[in-house]
Amino acid sequence: MRVIICENYEEISKKAADIVASQVILKPDCVLGLATGSTPIGLYDNLVEKNKNGEIDFSNVTTFNLDEYYPLAPDNDQSYRYFMNTHLFDRINIDKARTHVPNGLAADPEAEGKAYDEMIAAHGGIDLQVLGIGQNGHIAFNEPDDNLVAGTHLTGLTENTIEANSRFFESIDDVPRKALTMGMGSIMKARKIILLANGKSKAAVIKEMMNDNVTTSIPATLLKCHPDVIILCDKEAAGM
Ligand code: GLP
C-alpha cells in the first residue's frame, strides 16, 4: 500500500484525476469503479475539466458504481445514480448505457447483486477502483461486522453511517436504512485501487490503515491484502 500525503483537498482531487486520466489514456475502453460521498466530488470536477479540454475521452469507458441506497428510485435526488449523473456522467462524453449503478428498486436484491458481479466479470473486471472511506472504516456500504459478505449484496446501515450521511437529507428519518453494495470481494478484485480521504474526521481510521492489522471491524483494513492500493489523503486525515 502506498500513501501519498497531499497538502490539501485540491491536491488530492488533482492527483486522483491524474491517476484516473492516465488509466483512461492507457486503456481507452477501461472499466472504472466509482464512488460517491463528498470526497470524490473534486476528482469528478477535475475529470470534467480534463474531458472538456480534450485531455481524456470517455466515449469507450465503462463504469460500475459501488453502491446505492435501498429502496430508492434512480431519479430521487438523494440516490447515488442521481449523484453520479449530476457530478460526472451528465458533464462528460460518456455513453450513459455504459454507466452502471446497482438498482435501488430491484424487486429481488439478491439476484440484483449476483447479476451486478456477473456483469463486472463479463466486462473483464474493474481496472481502477476509486474509493472513499467512512469514519468507521466502511468501504462502499460494507459496515464493520464479525462477518463480511464477499459479493454485491443488500445490507443494513449502521447508526454511525446513517448519522454521517443524514447531512445530505432533509431529516435523519429520510435516510434509507439499507443499501445495495459491492462486497469487499467484488472490490478486492479490482486490479488497482485508489482511496481518497480528506479531513480530521478520517484521521482515526487512516491511522488504522497504517498498522499491520486486518479486521472485519474496520472493513477498509482488508485493502492491506490487495497488491496495488494507493491512499491519497490530506495532512489532516494523515494526522499531521
Ligand atoms: C458513503 C458511501 C461511501 C463513502 C462514504 C464517505 O457512506 N457509501 O462509499 O466512502 O460515504 O463519504 P464522504 O466522502 O462524504 O466522507
Question: Interior CA angle at 58 toward 114 and 220, to 5°?
Answer: 45
pLDDT exceeds 90 at position 58: yes
Q: Which long-range contacts (C-beta less than 8 Å, at least 24 apart) are formed by 116-122?
A: 116/64, 116/152, 116/180, 116/182, 116/186, 117/151, 117/152, 117/182, 117/186, 119/64, 120/31, 120/64, 120/186, 120/189
Whole-angstrom CA distances from 207 to 137, 197, 236 are 11, 11, 11
CB atoms within 10 A of CB 239: 14
Mean pLDDT of 203-224: 97
**Domain residue ranges of the chain, discontinuous segments joined by +:** 27-39+52-193
pLDDT, the chain, mean: 97
Q: Whole-prediction pTM value?
A: 0.97
Mean pLDDT lowest among 29-33, 155-159, 191-195 = 155-159
Nearest CA, atom 13, ligand 1: 37
Out of 3.90.420.10, 3.40.190.10, 3.40.50.1360, 1.20.1630.10, which CATH number does the structure's domain 27-39+52-193 have?
3.40.50.1360
Kindly list the catalytic residues.
Answer: 67, 136, 138, 143
Nearest CA, atom 1, ligand 1: 37
pLDDT exceeds 90 at position 160: no
pLDDT exceeds 90 at position 224: yes
Pocket test for ligand 1, best of 39, 83, 158, 233 (most atoms within 8 A of CB): 39
176 lines ligand 1 (CB under 6 A): no
The tens digit of pLDDT for each residue in 187-199 reads: 999 999 999 999 9
203 vs 233: CA distance, rounded Å? 9
Nearest CA, atom 10, ligand 1: 132
The tens digit of pLDDT for each residue in 126-155 reads: 999 999 999 999 999 999 999 999 999 999
